[in-house]
Amino acid sequence: MCVCIPTYQERDSLPGVVRRLRTAVPLADVLVIDDNSPDGTGALAEELGAADPQVRVLHRQAKEGLGPAYLAGFAWAADHGYDAVVEMDADGSHRPEELPALLAAAGDGEGADLVIGSRWVDGGSVHRWPLHRKGLSVGANTYVRLALGIPVRDATAGFRVYRLPQLASLLATPVASQGYCFQVDLTLRAVDAGLTVREVPIAFVERAEGASKMTDAIVREAVVRVGRWAWERRTRQVREHLVRRDRSRWHHLEEAT
């Protein structure tokens, strides 16, 4: 299993997160995906890797968004033969100590293909968030759930476990989403593909160091893309309904004659 941790300006928080992760799940390998952080996060990650062979570093040339960083990490994990991949933030908001519960839900045999560490299911919680941030997240996830008609309460969550073969099938067509909409995109693909998606409650803790990567552009991307996907889905559903209705009519006519 490979835990992918994208970084940009995470020098203060990364060592603690990696240390806690290696303690919580000793068998996990860690891939730090650094987007050429000006604060030297990439160099620090190399130091962590030199001290621990289960920590690897993937350097990227520039900051291109969360989606491209994760796609690069997924490709690296696939090339190195892993059977599962984890998404996890470097800022401490995703508690490494909760990863074993997500891995248990993925498990073997009847385990889920996608496990989401969810803030908005029973037992989930958010700590140190101002009211407007909580309202934004709840509103965004309600919008996604109703607009797309998917039974997932935290489709924007970024603490996840994917089975790698199933994830590869989801990425058969290009993924254009850049920011947090990337999570919605893959959730929607998983649901449409008939994969087993399970939400496990987590306690999300607002970062103690650094600044949030949430921007107005990320919010706009999510609103526009989800709206477009919803329109496409509803249009396709109407078209399929009309086709089924016409086929049924022809069938009855044939029986009558």
Give the closest residue to 114 by CA, choosing from 182, 180, 165, 181.
165
Rg of the Cα atoms in the chain? 20
Q: Is the pLDDT of residue 40 over 70?
A: yes
Q: Is the pLDDT of residue 182 over 80?
A: yes
Percent of the chain with pLDDT over 90: 71
Residues 90-106 have a mean pLDDT of 96
The reported pLDDT for the residue numbered 177 is 80
Bridge-based pairing state of the strands 197-201 and 125-127? unpaired
Residues 51-71 have a mean pLDDT of 94
The reported pLDDT for the residue numbered 206 is 87
Give the closest residue to 83 by CA, choosing from 163, 195, 197.
163
Q: Which position has the higher pLDDT, 64 or 56? A: 56
Q: Is the pLDDT of residue 181 over 80?
A: yes
HEC assignment per residue over the chain: CEEEEEECCCCCCHHHHHHHHHHHCCCCEEEEEECCCCCCHHHHHHHHHHHCCCEEEEECCCCCCHHHHHHHHHHHHHHCCCCEEEECCCCCCCCHHHHHHHHHHHCCCCCCCEEEEECCCCCCEEECCCHHHHHHHHHHHHHHHHHHCCCCCCCCCCCEEEEHHHHHHHCCCCCCCCCCHHHHHHHHHHHHCCCCEEEEECEEECCCCCCCCCCHHHHHHHHHHHHHHHHHHHHHHHHHHHHHHHHHHHHHHHHHC
Q: Which position has the higher pLDDT, 229 or 52? A: 52
All domains in the chain, ordered by first residue: 2-222 (3.90.550.10)
pLDDT digits (tens, 9 = 90+) for 212-250: 555 666 677 777 888 887 888 778 777 775 777 667 667
- Model confidence at 208, pLDDT cuts 50, 70, 90, reads low
How far is it, in rounded angstroms, from Cα 85 to Cα 100? 13
Q: Which of 18-22, 127-131, 152-156 has the lowest mean pLDDT?
A: 127-131
How far is it, in rounded angstroms, from Cα 121 to Cα 220? 25
The reported pLDDT for the residue numbered 104 is 95
The reported pLDDT for the residue numbered 221 is 72
How far is it, in rounded angstroms, from Cα 234 to Cα 239? 9
| Both structure tokens of 188 | 């929607």
- Model confidence at 211, pLDDT cuts 50, 70, 90, reads low
